[in-house]
Structure 1
Amino acid sequence: MHASVLKYFIEVASCGSVRKASERLFVAASAVNRQIHKLEDELGVELFDRLPTGLRLNPAGERLLKHAQETLHQFQVMRTELDALKGERTGHVKVAAMDSFFEELLPSAVEEFLQIFPAVTYTITSIQPMEVAQLVMTGQADVGLAFVGRVPGGVKVMSRAKLPIGIVLPPGHPLANRASLSLKDCAPYPFLRSSSHPVISAALSPDFAAFWDDMEPAATCNSTPLLKRLIMGGKGISCFSKIAFIEELKRGELLWRPFELPALNELQVGILVPTQRVLPHVTQNFVGRMARRLMQLEATAAAL
């Protein structure tokens, strides 16, 4: 319990906001706020200066932050030493994921996991969506994150969320006032393509696959951060799920519009694991935590 309170405090101090900390912790903002007030009451001193722009540590808060970081570090070292005796907190996690997951979901998940399982090592590979299942099936990855439709034998979906692909565009774009978009709507405008290969199979949507293959892109680039900057700079529109654009969509820096294609609007992303082998305890724990984060991401995206 003490460790949880200190973790909440450290996150609020880092974010300068209870709301932002709650999103990173995947805990209700009211619960985080309640724990901060409880901590201040217990210590008999305020820990933050509450400013119009957010929360800022005061001298008492800075002193507690140093203590909290040292305490949690020692706590995790102790847990690792104890659990290493049981062989439950060491191991290697191999993840293959499409690039969108590298913007926020995967970094925050691994960051959290490192706090709890500091002895675990990782191999994390960015790969085209349609290639993820193959890496999981062949054992090159333990966990896959990608769009899921029909999955091959030897692979199963542990958790899934409705996060379909659509068009990402800047505010003020001629298509911005449309509630949904057809492929014909998009055709006249410069398009930024994330890969020369379609992000979904032609079997799922032949029309979309043909559109992808026939276009003359303004740029083809497999870096989501670079494509994000090009879209924000008005250099073109692109096709993505909301996964990589949550913060920009919240701030109104970018817009997302669904396609007028039922097959694309029902598209889900999921966590893929092998069926032919049992994953180690630590990897199963990682999958469970990723599943919770994916459900939270789905809820956040639906509200945008």
Structure 2
Amino acid sequence: MRFDLVSLSLFVAVAETQNLTHAARRKHTAVSAVSKRIAELEQQVGTQLMLRLPRGITLTPAGHSLLYHARQVFRNLEKMEEELSDYAAGIRGHIRIYTISAALMNHLPRVVSDYLSLYPQTDIEIEEQTGMSVVQGLLAGEADVGFFSSWTPAAGIAFWPWQHDLLSVLVWPTHPLAARSQLTFADIVNEKLIGSHRNSAVSHILERQARALGKTLNVGLRVSSFISMAELVAQQLGIAVLPVNEVASSTLHSGVRVIPLAELWAKRDLLVGVRDYGQASPSVKTLIGSLLPTEQAAGSDKTDAGWAGGGN
């Protein structure tokens, strides 16, 4: 079954505007031409795609299915055009990265720097997201590569372990806990906390562990930036729990101490993922290959997150 791109484009316009006239205006064509194209599509697929109502249209289940696949077709065409135009412009590669804060803060800048030193004409876009948004972006084709944690369910994508991470507690130097070499969650559960945003995996896992102890977290402030959290700790507005390590601690505010959280659940893997390695662009495969052994990326990827549940 072959589909005409013009007909698919008109169908998407009608589905999005829910009105033949508005769709015709958007596509700069006659209403009769739009109606004819939709009728031809319905004849081609052998079923009704939309119901004509007095004040517009509504999609049938078959219409919703076609809309989903048509959008995928146009998204792939846009990606193809973008990549080919990059080649024409001499960029020779374009990679869209979604990443959680921990990866962006600790490891990703070095990765990008090393990659661009070898492939300086590659165009790389980086967006900071929650873990779930990273996975959703990969599934939707909005991101080419994602960096997220093993706390995030990742069904439907290919992913590999990349780095290790550990939750640590940030306190100011004169805090009663500052002299400790490590802390347990019971040591801090009653402290006033500076929390990350509510949808982050760190927030979810801390709340879950507090409930296990029969406690409720005392979160006085919430901010999305790790650097901002460290600044607030330095001002003695509360302590914070962040996924940082000994390397990252040097990038935080000088007025804080970073103390490891000695809990098994505080350890996690940082993962790198793509929607489909086999369909990835050469630039994406090269980036993945720079992070992992070639045979691991090509043949040993995981496609379901059996690691743990969470969000960022």
Distance 1:278 1:270 in 2: 19
Show CA shifts across 1:213-266 (max 9, x none): 94332211112221122223333211111259625279975433333432223x
The whole-number CA distance in structure 1 between the counterparts of 2:129 and 2:87 is 36
Question: What count of residue pairs does the alignment treat as equivalent?
Answer: 207
Secondary structure in structure 2 of the residue aligned to 1:165: strand
Counterparts in 2 of 1:231 and 1:200: CA distance versus 1, 3 Å: closer
Q: Deviations over 1:188-213 (max 9, x none)?
A: 322111112242596898325778x9
Does residue 165 (structure 1) correspond to residue 154 (structure 2)? The answer is no
Say if 1:179 and 1:126 are closer, same or farther in 2 by CA, change over 3 A: same
Residue 101 of structure 1 is matched in structure 2 by 103
1:40 aligns with: none
When the two structures are superposed, what TM-score results if normalisation uses the length of structure 2? 0.55
Q: In structure 2, do the counterparts of structure 1 residues 210 and 201 end up closer, same or farther at CA, with 3 Å as the change threshold?
A: farther
Q: Which amino acid aligns with 2:269?
A: Q
User: Which protein has the larger Cα radius of gyration, Structure 1 or Structure 2?
Assistant: 2
Distance (whole Å) between structure 2 residues aligned to residue 203 and residue 226 of structure 1: 21
Q: Return 5+ residue gaps in structure 2 as ranges.
A: 1-85, 294-312
Structure 1 distance, partners of 2:204, 2:253, is 34
Change (3 A) 1:251 1:127: closer
Aligned position for 2:266:
264
Following superposition, the deviation at residue 107 of structure 1 comes to 2.8
Within 1, Cα distance between the matches of 2:221 and 2:232?
Answer: 9
Separation in structure 1 between the aligned mates of residue 142 and residue 253 of structure 2, nearest angstrom: 38
Q: Which amino acid aligns with 2:167?
A: I
- Cα distance between partner residues in 2 of 1:113 and 1:158: 18
Report the TM-score when normalising by structure 1: 0.56
SS in 1 for 2:162: strand
Contact 2:193 2:238 in 1 (8 A): yes
Q: 2:191 aligns with which of 169, 179, 189?
A: 189
Whether the 8 Å CA contact 1:143–1:271 is kept in 2: the answer is yes
Match of 2:123 in 1: 121
Partner of 1:112: 114
How far did 1:285 drift?
A: 1.9
**What is the rounded CA distance, in whole Å, between the counterparts of 2:211 and 2:288 in structure 1?**
31
- Look up the equivalent residue of 1:278 and give its one-letter code: Q
Give the secondary-structure state (helix, strand or coil) at the position aligned to 2:121.
Answer: coil
Q: How far, CA to CA, are the matches of 2:246 and 2:199 in structure 1?
A: 19
1:132 and 1:146 in contact (8 A); partners too: yes
Aligned ranges for residues 1-304 of structure 1 at < 5 Å? 90-149=92-151, 151-200=153-202, 206-208=208-210, 214-242=216-244, 246-248=248-250, 254-265=256-267, 267-275=268-276, 277-290=278-291
Inter-CA distance 171–245: structure 2 relative to 1 (3 Å threshold): farther
Percent same amino acid among aligned pairs? Answer: 17
CA distance in 2 between partners of 1:219 and 1:176 (Å): 21
Deviations 1:40-64 (A, max 9, x none): xxxxxxxxxxxxxxxxxxxxxxxxx
Deviations 1:97-142 (A, max 9, x none): 1123333533333233333323222221111123322222222212
Say if 1:110 and 1:150 are closer, same or farther in 2 by CA, change over 3 A: closer
- Unaligned 5+ residue runs, structure 1? 1-83, 293-304
> Contact conserved, 1:103 with 1:244, CA < 8 A, in 2?
no
Q: Which amino acid aligns with 1:116?
A: L
Offset, 1:96: 0.8
Contact preservation (8 Å) 1:89, 1:119: yes
In the superposition, relative to structure 1, how do residues 152 and 251 fare at CA in structure 2: closer, same or farther (>3 Å)?
closer
CA RMSD, 1 decimal: 3.7
Answer yes or no: is the 8 Å Cα contact 1:89–1:282 preserved in 2: no
1:136-163 alpha-carbon deviations (Å, 9 max, x no partner): 2222212111211464332232233221
Native 8 Å contact 2:168 2:245 kept in 1 = no
CA distance in 2, matches of 1:277, 1:201: 35
* Amino acid of the structure 2 residue aligned with 1:279: A
Residue identity opposite 1:96 in structure 2 = Y
Aligned counterparts of 2:284 and 2:211: Cα–Cα separation in 1: 35
Counterpart-to-counterpart distance in 2, 1:154 and 1:241 = 25
Answer whether contact 2:202 2:242 (CA < 8 A) is retained: no
Q: Say if 2:231 and 2:253, in contact at 8 Å, map to a contact too.
A: no
Task: Tell me the distance in 2 between the aligned counterparts of 1:104 and 1:276.
Answer: 25
Q: Which amino acid aligns with 2:289?
A: G
